[in-house]
Amino acid sequence: ELSARFEDAVKGLRGQAKISDTNVEDALKQVRRALLGADVSLEVVREFVEEVRQKAVGAEVVRGVTPDQKFVQVVHQQLVEVMGGDNAPMAEAEDSPTVVLMAGLQGAGKTTATAKLGLHLKDQGQRPLMVAADVYRPAAIDQLRTLGEQIGVDVFSLGDDVKPEEIAAAGLAKAREEGFDTLLVDTAGRLQIDTEMMEEMVRIRSAVEPDEVLLVVDSMIGQEAAELTRAFHDKVGITGSVLTKLDGDSRGGAALSIRKVSGQPIKFIGTGEKVEALQPFHPERMASRILGMGDVLTLVEKAQKEVELADVEKMQKKLQEASFDFSDFLQQMRLIKRMGSLGGLIKMMPGMNKLDDGMLKQGEQQLKRIEAMIGSMTADERNQPELLASQPSRRRRIAGGSGHSPADVDKVLADFQKMRGFMQQMSKGGGMPGMPGMPG
């Protein structure tokens, strides 16, 4: 069971204070094994593991989250990112019909996927036309016809004596004439990648200039998905893919390979033999399927939110007591950075929507500078910011100690005073919901 194996994967990180170069090695080794077990190709696994290493080592681990949980989150997030983040919709031509070319090996599920897409589009109120351009297998045309009747979508065919590219072109002409919205061209595959198949695909592509070339991949093909994708993408050029037979045992690792090799999104997944068994591809869900770690992730997210809330509450209390000092300033800056966006902070602190944007949108560099300067302060200076305001010699010493100019120190001091002034004013005047004892 992959899920169990992956849990083993990160056990080594349990009880560690943070993720480091040394303790991450074992966990990475296990990730590598887990992904190979999920049928991700070796080259893709290698690259992926390096990316995870870079993101995991030194990653900030918030209170309430253990490094092993954090590690899982990094792996999951990287999986989602590599697989494209969000669902990618199907292309739509400016002038209809939108032309979709189905490509892939024999038995991958092209004809089935063509019908599934036909039904999907029809359900959306469109009028698709399916083209039977597989002239090699006698049953192929009948198969598409039968499916067409079943779902109530028209099928265009010229029998099996005409070249596939000519059938496709004639289908396109018909779709234009009769106002179909989408042309779905079903093609022939072979058992293996070969030159003839590729050349035929290129001829069909030239004949209809598709808006979308969808590579249909059987998810059970496993590690070979990378090689297959590379061949089709190099020779024909794909714009997306359909990953089929995910109702089976496969963990879906092929999704990672397809995306990484081609850079093109997986758009749909097939989850059964029936024509209804088609779903849009969601990177998030696939990442969870590959890892089988849903529960741990929820836990990490929850812990993260709680920590952020606790920090915000502490800050609010400080403001009330007007004891906001340089350490708080630094913490505030870190908090803002960690929450990623000001939007998140504003949501958590009602009444803060009038904050000076320019001041708060401090970049990473600014934060580093502030950290260095505060690091050069004495404890007294940190707790009593007035000391700095009144004594230029202290400011010069801090500038020297932190490797900055006195003007830089003045700037940070000004920012600090601005923020403190604003916050104190706000805590006196506005009042924040949920804070007992606040006036107003």
Chain residues that interact with ligand GDP, rule: CB under 6 A: 104, 106-112, 189, 216, 244-245, 247, 270-273, 277
Cβ-based nearer residue to ligand GDP, 249 or 357: 249
CA dihedral 304, 309, 310, 311 (to 10 degrees): 90
User: What's the gap between Cα 33 and its chain centre?
Assistant: 22
Residue 320: count of CB within 10 angstroms of its CB: 16
Q: Which stretch binds Mg ion (CB under 5 A): 77-85, 111-119, 224-232, 308-316?
A: 111-119
Stretch that binds Mg ion, among 63-71, 104-112, 300-308, 399-407 (CB under 5 A): 104-112
177: CB partners within 8 A, 6+ apart: none
Closest CB 1 distance from ligand GDP, rounded Å: 21
Q: Is 108 annotated as a binding residue?
A: yes
Tokens of residue 350, six digits: 């009602």
Is 77 annotated as a binding-site member?
no
Q: How far is CA 155 from CA 39, 130, 148, in A?
A: 36, 5, 6
Q: Strands 182-187, 128-133: parallel, antiparallel or unpaired by DSSP? A: parallel
Is 116 known to sit in a ligand binding site? Answer: no
Q: How far is the CB of 115 from Mg ion (least distance, A)?
A: 10
- Order of strands, edge to edge, in the sheet holding 240-244? 154-156, 128-133, 182-187, 98-103, 212-218, 240-244, 266-270, 278-280
Nearer to ligand GDP, 233 or 318 (CB): 233
The CA–CA distances, whole Å, from 94 to 79, 98, 99, 130 equal: 33, 8, 11, 20
Please identify, using beta-carbon distances, which residue of 272 and 344 lies nearer to ligand GDP: 272
Q: Cβ distance 313 to 293 under 8 Å?
A: no
Based on CB atoms, which residue is closest to Mg ion, 76 or 110?
A: 110
**Among residues 133 and 254, whose Cβ is nearest to Mg ion?**
133
Instruction: Taking each helix axis as running N to C, give the angle between helix 294-320 and helix 406-429, from 0 to 180 degrees, rounded to the nearest 10.
Output: 90
Smallest gap, in angstroms, from Cβ of residue 272 to Mg ion?
17
Q: Which is nearer to ligand GDP, 66 or 250 (CB)?
A: 250
271 binds, among ligand GDP, Mg ion, none (CB under 5 to 8 A by kind): ligand GDP
Dihedral of the CA atoms 53, 56, 57, 58 (nearest 10)?
160
Out of 111, 250, 264, 427, name the contact with Mg ion by CB under 5 A.
111
At residue 170, the 3 state secondary structure works out as helix
Q: Which does 253 bind (CB under 5 to 8 A by kind): ligand GDP, Mg ion, none?
A: none
CB of 110 to Mg ion, least distance (A): 5
157 lies in the binding site for Mg ion (CB under 5 A)? no
Q: By the 8 A CB rule, do 55 and 78 touch?
A: yes
> Shortest distance, CB of residue 142 to Mg ion, whole angstroms?
11
Q: How far is the CB of 215 from ligand GDP (least distance, A)?
A: 11
Instruction: List, as residue ranges, the binding site.
Output: 104-111, 186-190, 244-247
Instruction: List, as residue ranges, the binding site for GTP.
Output: 104-111, 186-190, 244-247
Contact residues: Mg ion, CB under 5 A: 110-111
